Amino acid sequence: MSRRNGPWALIFHTLFVVFMLAPILVVCVIAFTPEGYLSMPTDGLSLRWFRALWNNPDFVSSFRVSLALGAASASAAAAVSIPAAIAITRCDFPGRGAFLALCMSPLMVPSIVLGVAFLRFFSQIGLSGTLVGLTLSHVILIVPYVLRTIMNSLGSLDAALNNASASLGAARWHTFRRITLPLILPGVASGWILAFITSFDEVTMTIFLAAPETTTLPVRLMLYIEDSIDPLVAAVSTVLIVMALAVMILIDRLFGLDRILTGAPDRDGKP
């Protein structure tokens, strides 16, 4: 670990970071242009497009829809995934492998196929265009992310902890509440965040399912770009980037970002 990076490695890393960050930076700068078209702000900065965004009821409501959808589906996915992960990692039941494959399958099915399938299915059972239907489809789409991180945390727990708790007289539910859940909480949290981001970001499937009143932010952006490209889009992007950054900093302060993103088990008392 103590080996220093050579010049080539440094150049590579610099290029990589610049390549990743430059477009984001450019978008953020463009958002402050006073002009009516996409341009670098050469003669002064302006909040014109942020005002325009604030005054655009479509974007504001889409933003609300996306937030609610992301939070609801991530929470529902976590609620389903915890028992599923426990069953898969701790119990040996017939069809366990098939069950796991089924839970993970949304990762492999193209989103566009899911979109078409859900559209057909929801219109048949009368859920098409509803927020409930949209949430349901997102839950299925993001379960693999939550399930995976929770299974990782469970896998790193000593199985004897359960036995220890039982031998001390705790019933199963008590053990889950006092021992298992607190210890897998970082995994659940990281799964929740991943799931929220995935849901918030999802376009391909959602575009099939969203009705005018349930249009999510990314879908709204896409629809908007179809007939006009102006700095409003950049303003939306900037708001999202700043929010993501703020959340990451908050999480890092509260829990430590590394631990959350890797879903490592709780390491209380570590020096």
Closer CB to another protein, 109 or 171, in the complex: 171
Closer CB to another protein, 230 or 266, in the complex: 266
Q: How far is the CB of 66 from another protein (least distance, A)?
A: 34
Closer CB to another protein, 5 or 163, in the complex: 163
- List the x/- string, 106-145, binding to another protein by CB under 8 A: ----------------------------------------
Kindly state whether residue 252 participates in binding another protein, applying the rule CB under 8 A: no
Q: Tell me how many residues contact another protein (CB under 8 A).
A: 24
Contact (Cβ atoms closer than 8 angstroms) between residue 187 and residue 196: no
Report d(CA 92, CA 99) in Å as an integer.
Answer: 12
Kindly state whether residue 177 participates in binding another protein, applying the rule CB under 8 A: no
Report d(CA 155, CA 270) in Å as an integer.
Answer: 20
Report d(CA 210, CA 36) in Å as an integer.
Answer: 29
Query: What stretches of the chain show up as alpha helix (H) in DSSP?
Result: 7-30, 48-54, 57-90, 96-104, 111-125, 131-155, 160-167, 172-175, 181-201, 206-209, 217-227, 232-254, 257-262
Of residues 51, 64, 120, 174, which one binds another protein by CB under 8 A? 174
Kindly state whether residue 268 participates in binding another protein, applying the rule CB under 8 A: yes
Report d(CA 27, CA 29) in Å as an integer.
Answer: 5
Closer CB to another protein, 106 or 263, in the complex: 263
Report d(CA 165, CA 116) in Å as an integer.
Answer: 48
Applying CB under 8 A, the residues found at the interface with another protein are 158, 160-161, 163-171, 174, 178-179, 182-183, 265-271
